[in-house]
Chain A
Amino acid sequence: MSNSVLLAIDGSPGGERALSYAMERAKLGGAKLIVAYVIEWSQYSFNTPEENAERHKRREQEISRATDTIVQPAADKLNAAGIDCETIVTHGPPAETIIRLAEKHGVAQIVIGRRGQSGIKALLFGSVAGNLIQTSPVPVVVVP
């Protein structure tokens, strides 16, 4: 059984808490962490021609911004604590992409923070954590 854990973060306080939790667990069990950040994107969205022409540039900016401000600081924190980690920044529908990454890397568990959205927004759009729990092939830990 694989001893790696997929940690999905989004730069929110919930993601921070998930990072702390995963860090503690990894220290105890010596697991490898895969830190993933999914930039929400749908291939079925509608763009103006100008947005399309500039899309490649924007995509690279989005990836480097997410890497610099969110993923790399998390990886630095993990490295400083002596935890083996790998980072991924990618575009896609969040829950589906996280599952795809979990399958690809054969992780034993997914750790994610709770965003705590409630009411109509959650009802309309669902929550990433909620979708993951329903569809994930491996156990999911949702850190409150």
Chain B
Amino acid sequence: MIRFIWAVLAMTLLALPAHAGFDETINAATAPIASAIGAFVFFKIQVFGAQLPLVVLWLVIGAVFFTFYMGFVNVRGFKHAIQLVRGDYADPDSPGEVSHFQALATAVSGTVGIGNIGGVAVAVTIGGAGATFWLIVAGFLGMSTKFVECTLGVKYRQENPDGSVSGGPMYYMKKGFEERGMSGFGKFMGTFYAIGIFVGALGIGNMFQSNQAYVQLNTVAGGALDGMGWLVGLILAAVVFAVIIGGIKSIARVTEKIVPFMAVFYCFFAIVVILMNFTSIPAAIGNIFAGAFTGAGVQGGAIGALIIGFQRAVFSNEAGIGSASIAHAAVRTPEPVTEGYVSLLEPFIDTIVICTITALVIGTSQVADPNFAGDATGVAMTSAAFERQIGWFPLPLAFGALLFAFSTMISWSYYGLKGWTYLFGEGQMGQTIYKLMFCAFVALGCMVQLGPILDISDALVFLICVPNILGLYFLAPIVKREMTNYLARLDSGEIKKYTH
């Protein structure tokens, strides 16, 4: 049966490139919708000559509020988060469940992607070095949002009859609002969120990733893959198919193992490059601070740098989007708040560590040679900064980008699936239909340049942060109560630390 479905899928996809102008047709049909949705979601206001998308403001205000409301949990909870990940509080008598470390690793591999390498380059090109400062600030504030959403993800998850769990914003909104006697509103918000994450999963977590993976491969191959997008797409789709439908978990397990390794590998060599540019370090750091407050040479000045930095951070760590709470919900812990603590490490790793390191690689290279990258932007710019010092690095970098893209696709296929099952139930048939659709979009992402469709999905992913953050405001008192209660028991020694 599965082989049959696969054959049909393959034939359909193979037939696609034959239709000349296939993508143009779709583009033409969807462009008006995309620009309408995009204009609505990314509605920009003018602030001192800079354009500020309201959605970024919405996310940042949320993050500032949660940082104060939770009493700077992003600073005060940091040490405890590390202890939890190390397993210091894991009961040795009930091992074998998903550990805090595993939940964190899974969620991080969903957020660390092409954006950490290429997106940062775009941000510092447009927003100048000063954007880095605001990127770090936003990453730091985002930690508090993650804390709130992931605590709720675990607290209000659903235990399915087969023993598996489903969780995420759609569940905490439905159940949380029900508890507050607003069940109709909660259901509406949950459904809204589920539709958004499901559609978003096909774009930002799928087509965008596979498209970038293809572009990367083609760059490394020196353009030998021009016009071969359909082939790369089919191969990628086949691998994703093998993992999410064929149940060949070993492929995913291998990438899940390699991704953290690649992230460490990337950071290590990035630090090496920064150190090799050591004479430029003071100037690069000076530029970051100077740019952050004066915005020299940036459109919109300091505010422009701030907006670009904030935007890059929220796009990268997804704090406020709610996606990570779906991944964190799998942890079985009697204390939902512990998962909140662990999740605050996510924006830290993603934004404060990885994005900042990328920014410094580019920043120090720029100081040494302002024209080091020529006209290149995005991943190519980061790649050029590495190449200045380590000639062979572009190859492993491309390989890493491919793996990051792949693991992001696997994570997002799951997020989208949870949106789907929330809407249509846990039936196997429906799940298979969704997964097939997901694979088809993986292939499509490499074949065609469907800008408008990507724009729609991008917009939807950010649209869902509206109900999500709104829900978080309503439910934050519950999280605060849980946190206060947990900390009291931690202080009194009721929650034991196990020495291993």
A47 with B253: CB separation less than 8 A: yes
B165 with A56: CB separation less than 8 A: yes
B162 with A55: CB separation less than 8 A: no
Partner of A52, one of B87, B259, B327: B327
B92 with A100: CB separation less than 8 A: yes
Instruction: Please indicate the chain A residues that have their CB under 8 angstroms from the CB of B162 in the complex.
Output: 57
Majority secondary structure, B binding face? helix
The minimal Cβ–Cβ distance linking A62 to chain B, given in whole angstroms, is 7
B163 with A60: CB separation less than 8 A: yes
For the complex, give the distance between the alpha carbons of A50 and B165 in Å: 10
The minimal Cβ–Cβ distance linking A106 to chain B, given in whole angstroms, is 16
Instruction: Please indicate the chain B residues that have their CB under 8 angstroms from the CB of A47 in the complex.
Output: 98, 102, 105-106, 253, 256
A90 with B95: CB separation less than 8 A: yes
Mask of B397-414 contacts with A, CB within 8 angstroms, 1/0:
000000000000011001
B330 with A52: CB separation less than 8 A: yes
Q: Which of A73-111 contact B (CB under 8 A)?
A: 90-92, 97, 100
B96 with A46: CB separation less than 8 A: no
Instruction: Please indicate the chain A residues that have their CB under 8 angstroms from the CB of B326 in the complex.
Output: 49
A49 with B95: CB separation less than 8 A: no
Given A55-B330, A62-B96, A92-B95: A46 and B102 interface contact (C-beta under 8 Å): yes
Mask of B25-41 contacts with A, CB within 8 angstroms, 1/0:
00000000000000000
B102 with A41: CB separation less than 8 A: no
Instruction: Please indicate the chain A residues that have their CB under 8 angstroms from the CB of B298 in the complex.
Output: none
A55 with B98: CB separation less than 8 A: yes
Partner of A53, one of B109, B256, B330, B410: B330
A51 contacts the other chain (CB 8 A): yes
B98 with A52: CB separation less than 8 A: yes
For the complex, give the distance between the alpha carbons of A46 and B90 in Å: 17
For the complex, give the distance between the alpha carbons of A70 and B101 in Å: 30
Which of B105, B109, B330 has the most chain A CB atoms inside 10 A of its CB? B330
B165 with A43: CB separation less than 8 A: no
B164 with A48: CB separation less than 8 A: no
Mask of B93-134 contacts with A, CB within 8 angstroms, 1/0:
101111101110110011000000000000000000000000
For the complex, give the distance between the alpha carbons of A51 and B414 in Å: 10
A48 with B95: CB separation less than 8 A: no
B249 contacts the other chain (CB 8 A): yes
Instruction: Please indicate the chain B residues that have their CB under 8 angstroms from the CB of A92 in the complex.
Output: 92, 95-96
Which of B96, B99, B110, B162 has the most chain A CB atoms inside 10 A of its CB? B96
The minimal Cβ–Cβ distance linking B422 to chain A, given in whole angstroms, is 13
Instruction: Please indicate the chain B residues that have their CB under 8 angstroms from the CB of A48 in the complex.
Output: 106, 243, 249, 252-253, 256, 410-411, 414
Shortest Cβ distance from A43 into B: residue: B99
B496 contacts the other chain (CB 8 A): no
Mask of B434-470 contacts with A, CB within 8 angstroms, 1/0:
0000000000000000000000000000000000000
A43 with B102: CB separation less than 8 A: yes
For the complex, give the distance between the alpha carbons of A39 and B257 in Å: 20
A65 contacts the other chain (CB 8 A): no
For the complex, give the distance between the alpha carbons of A91 and B414 in Å: 26
B165 with A53: CB separation less than 8 A: yes
Shortest Cβ distance from B159 into A: residue: A56
The minimal Cβ–Cβ distance linking A117 to chain B, given in whole angstroms, is 21
B53 contacts the other chain (CB 8 A): no
B95 with A46: CB separation less than 8 A: no
B187 contacts the other chain (CB 8 A): no
Partner of A59, one of B97, B259, B260, B329: B97
Shortest Cβ distance from B256 into A: residue: A46
The minimal Cβ–Cβ distance linking B203 to chain A, given in whole angstroms, is 18
Instruction: Please indicate the chain A residues that have their CB under 8 angstroms from the CB of B212 in the complex.
Output: none
A53 with B166: CB separation less than 8 A: yes
For the complex, give the distance between the alpha carbons of A47 and B254 in Å: 9
A56 with B97: CB separation less than 8 A: yes
Which of B98, B165, B252 has the most chain A CB atoms inside 10 A of its CB? B98
A-B contact pairs, 18 of them (CB 8 A): A43-B90, A44-B99, A47-B105, A48-B252, A48-B253, A48-B256, A49-B106, A49-B110, A49-B327, A50-B414, A52-B98, A52-B102, A53-B166, A53-B330, A59-B96, A63-B96, A90-B95, A97-B95
| Interface of B toward A, CB cutoff 8 Å | 87, 90, 92-93, 95-99, 101-103, 105-106, 109-110, 162-166, 243-244, 249, 252-253, 256-257, 259-260, 326-327, 329-332, 410-411, 414-415, 417
Add 17 more A-B contacts to A52-B106, A52-B330 (CB < 8 A).
Answer: A39-B96, A43-B87, A43-B101, A44-B102, A45-B102, A47-B253, A47-B256, A48-B106, A48-B253, A49-B110, A49-B414, A50-B244, A53-B165, A53-B329, A55-B330, A62-B96, A91-B96
Q: Which 3 A-B residue pairs are closest in the complex by CB-CB distance?
A: A91-B96, A57-B163, A43-B99
